[in-house]
Amino acid sequence: MKRNSPRLKFFLYLLSLIYGLVIFVRNFLFDFHLLPEESFNIPVISIGNISVGGTGKTPHTEYIANLLSPHYRVAILSRGYKRKTKGFLLADETNASAASLGDESYQMFRKLKDCTIAVDANRRRGIRKLLEINPKLQVILLDDAFQHRFVKPTASILLTDYSRLFTEDALLPYGNLREPAGNKYRADIVVVTKCPLAMNPMDYKMVQKKLDLFPFQTIFFTFYRYSYPYALFADKASASVLDEAMMKQKKALIVSGIANPTLLTTYAASVSKEITTMFFPDHYQFKADDYEKMAFKFSSMQGDKCVLITEKDAARMIDDPLVPEGLKPYLFVLPVKVEFIKNQNQFNHQILSYVSKNQ
């Protein structure tokens, strides 16, 4: 049966109805307190989405952590997607890796030195463990936790991709939604991510109309700001950072294992002489033959060149013994951070207010 055949689409639609019924029953049990939501005597901020992957949870979690860490003792608790460990794990220099924490949590561990990083699929247990280990913690960020309703957060932030708003999608497996768009009511803040910088007032109004938020909810618009690529293996590279002039002279092989590499390739094409791409599934663990294909494709490129990877891919590659020695001098990481198109001070104030009022 072909993937786009009417029969397959109808079958997937039926499955989505069954899935939607299960999600409805689950949320009903929480809404009417038949399943318990646990609150904690510490501010807990949830950052998540309704759709599957690609909305920018990790960069936004990093933004909020950097906002709070100068003022409060901050911990980030994730489930540690695709890690090879089980249960609760507190990250430290002896145990931290992409294998033990998951690539996103390890990425944050490497970048956010002032924050405590831990993983546990059971968020209630994870919070209790964090507070046992460090009772002086002042705020906990729950990464990718919109669906984890056993914890009642102080504030909930819901992300949605500008190019695919959750109100324009359908439930799994027919679409990419984990739960119905109507469940947006649980969010205090909605952030439209990966926006184009050229948005005009009419664009803002159209998005707000499509999302149809409640009066108590606030909406913000963010975009990605890329910085100069830095060497993943600095001791082997001829340059620690590639500035704008250097990038303009280089051909770039883009290697990406993220959910949506569109913005990455668009930006790389704008700063590089020429690009070639190799795309892999989200959170993909590269194998020996994948590296061989990278090396072969890279060797076939003529002239001054480099390999550009994302921070998430770098978290998996940095300790990977399979990375070919011949590629290491050319591997450069393209860092990204979140910036607000407008109302950044309002967002910052709202987050700081949630924390200060719930100490």
Q: What does the DSSP assignment read for 254-274? A: EEE-SS--HHHHHHHHHHSSE
Q: What is the pLDDT of residues 170-225, one digit of tens each?
A: 999 999 999 999 999 999 999 999 999 889 999 999 999 999 999 999 999 999 99
Q: What is the pLDDT of residue 2?
A: 53
Q: What is the pLDDT of residue 53?
A: 78
Provide φ and ψ at 93, rounded to 5°.
-65, -20
* Residue 284, number of CB atoms within 10 A of its CB: 17
CB 53 within 8 A of CB 282: yes
9 pLDDT more than 80: yes
Mean local confidence (pLDDT), 228-255: 96
274-279 β-sheet, strand order: 230-231, 331-334, 305-310, 251-256, 274-279
4 pLDDT more than 80: no
Q: What is the pLDDT of residues 260-302, one digit of tens each?
A: 899 999 999 999 999 999 999 999 999 999 999 999 999 999 9
Q: How many residues does the chain have?
A: 359
- Residue 5 binned pLDDT confidence (cut-offs 50, 70, 90): confident
Q: What is the pLDDT of residue 61?
A: 98
- Give the percent of the chain with pLDDT over 90: 95
Q: What is the pLDDT of residues 21-77, one digit of tens each?
A: 999 999 999 999 999 999 999 999 999 999 987 899 999 999 999 999 999 999 999
- Phi-psi region for residue 251, left (φ > 0), alpha (ψ -120 to 50) or beta? beta
* Residue 182, number of CB atoms within 10 A of its CB: 12
Per-position DSSP letters for 340-359, written without gaps between them: ESS-HHHHHHHHHHHHHTT-
Peptide bond into 201 cis (omega under 30): no
Strands 305-310 and 251-256: parallel
Task: Answer yes or no: pTM beyond 0.85.
Answer: yes
Q: What is the pLDDT of residues 316-341, one digit of tens each?
A: 999 999 999 999 999 999 999 999 99
Helix H or strand E segment including 193: strand 189-193
CB 151 within 8 A of CB 143: no
Cα distance between residue 284 and residue 302, in whole Å: 28
* Residue 283, number of CB atoms within 10 A of its CB: 18
Could you give the domains of the chain?
44-72+138-225+339-356 (3.40.50), 228-334 (3.40.50)
